[in-house]
Amino acid sequence: MRITQIAMLVLSMAGTTMAQSAGPHLLIPGQRNKFSGLSHIEVELGQRNTLLVGFDRYAQVQARQNVDSVLRLFVNDYRKIADTTQSPTRAIHAQFRLNEADRALDLRFTPQPTSSFRFRRDNPPLDVKTQQDTLHIVWASDSRTAMVGRKSVAPDAYGVYLLVNSFADLEDRLNAGGINGALKTAFESVRSYKGHDLTDAKMAFNMVQGTDKRAQFIEPGLAKAPFLSLQPGIGVGLIRNQWVPSLNFDIQFIPNRRRSVGYSIGYTSTFFFAQAPDNGSFQAFRNDFLSLGVAFYNSDKGDKATSFSRQIASFSVGMLVKRSGPYFERNTIRLSGTVYQKGPFKVQPELYMNGFFKKVNPGLRLVVGF
């Protein structure tokens, strides 16, 4: 009979189960958008176990500092419904909702895609669990939409995430002292930060606390502060029945992190290839467009914050600034926009015209961003 080892080596991503890496989640590009809130505190608990708190206002964190009490509720409730007949290597994603009168627990299971084993001399083979369990704690009172006059206002986001090697280890961790102590140390680091008063509701920040209790602060500043987004990319477009590669670089100005609009200036170089009639060699013709545009983004999960990773649509107007070959007239205008985005991939229909809607030629471009 095989002995099951609940060990964490590598974690793969499935649904909303959070992917575990060799380092903190908040230091991985794009990972912050998977957690609620404008600000985040990540506490490393050792053995790749992690506690992460996402919030819009620091006052929310101060009001709910006793995470151990909620974990004890979860452990007691989960023990009553845990199915011990299933494979212990599967990953479990649990959402634990605390209502005023009761509690709700939703479970989703992800089978391990690959069976992994470890062999040690004459011992039986060990099953190795390669995916972590994820607990997401939410409070029902935090999800209610408020009314300001006739306008509905999204609630302040708040959520606690616990990424552990196995839910079976939680009771032992609580008996050994819990995690309130490590969280208290993180709060002390926030209050003692010298650069800003991070407890102010106008501030936003990300903080990572390692197992050595040292805090690393990431981009502390005003929650509504504007910022620039650099968006390089490569693409291929169908222009005049010819496939044309392109290089793109956009600088987008986001005036407010809590708004879903960005304004951009972009530079696109397109490359046409043709065979020379005299010697048959291939020639490259580069044509560049300078564009101004506006983009609209989709907010995550009803939060006030916008991740700026999911573009609903965009529109830009470009002028030809570098011309080569017979493909465009000197006064060519390009109208372009994003109609679909999936991860880094964008679909952008285009219109090329000489002057204002004269000699219109449609085009279609597929872009991969970085």
Percent of the chain with pLDDT over 90: 50
Asked if the model's pLDDT at residue 81 lies above 70, the reply is yes
Q: Do 164 and 197 belong to one domain? A: yes
Q: Do 155 and 235 belong to one domain? A: no
Domain that residue 213 falls in = 3-222
Radius of gyration of the chain (CA): 26
Last residue of a domain, one of 222, 250, 269: 222
Over residues 191-214, the mean pLDDT reads 91
Position 47 scores a pLDDT of 87
Q: Break the chain down into helix, strand, coil percent, rounded to 5.
A: 15, 45, 40
Asked if the model's pLDDT at residue 15 lies above 60, the reply is no
* Alpha-carbon gap, residue 368 to 102, rounded angstroms: 47
Position 113 scores a pLDDT of 81
Q: Do 86 and 205 belong to one domain? A: yes
What backbone torsions phi and psi does residue 272 show, to the nearest 5 degrees?
A: -95, 145
Percent of the chain with pLDDT over 70: 86
How many domains is the chain built from?
Answer: 2
Per-residue pLDDT of 221-275, as tens digits, reads 887 778 788 889 999 999 988 999 999 999 999 887 667 789 999 999 999 998 8
Q: Do 214 and 253 belong to one domain? A: no
Asked if 116 and 9 count as a contact pair (C-beta separation under 8 A), the reply is yes
3-17, 241-255, 278-292: least confidently modelled range: 3-17
Per-residue pLDDT of 309-349, as tens digits, reads 678 899 999 999 999 998 999 899 999 999 998 888 999 99
Helices (H), 26-66: 58-63
Position 17 scores a pLDDT of 37
**Closest to 12 (Cα-Cα) out of 134, 118, 135, 112:** 112
Task: Confirm whether pTM is higher than 0.85.
Answer: no
Q: Do 205 and 248 belong to one domain? A: no
Positive or negative CA dihedral for 182, 187, 190, 191? negative
Last residue of a domain, one of 222, 248, 282: 222
Q: Do 318 and 339 belong to one domain? A: yes
**Closest to 368 (Cα-Cα) out of 196, 210, 279, 245:** 245
Higher pLDDT, 142 or 137: 137
Q: Do 48 and 140 belong to one domain? A: yes
Q: Do 231 and 209 belong to one domain? A: no
Which tokens belong to 86?
């299933």
At 3, is the pLDDT very low, low, confident or very high (cuts 50, 70, 90)?
Answer: very low
Last residue of a domain, one of 222, 239, 263: 222
* Alpha-carbon gap, residue 181 to 190, rounded angstroms: 15
Position 151 scores a pLDDT of 47
Residue type, position 221, single letter? G
Asked if the model's pLDDT at residue 6 lies above 80, the reply is no
Q: Do 115 and 264 belong to one domain? A: no
CATH number, position 326: 2.40.160
Q: Do 265 and 318 belong to one domain? A: yes
Which tokens belong to 61?
């964190």
Q: Do 158 and 285 belong to one domain? A: no
* Alpha-carbon gap, residue 227 to 241, rounded angstroms: 39
In this structure, the chain runs to a length of: 370
Q: Do 215 and 264 belong to one domain? A: no
Residues in contact with 237: Cβ distance below 8 Å, sequence separation at least 6, in sequence order? 243, 244, 246, 270, 348, 350, 363, 364, 365, 366
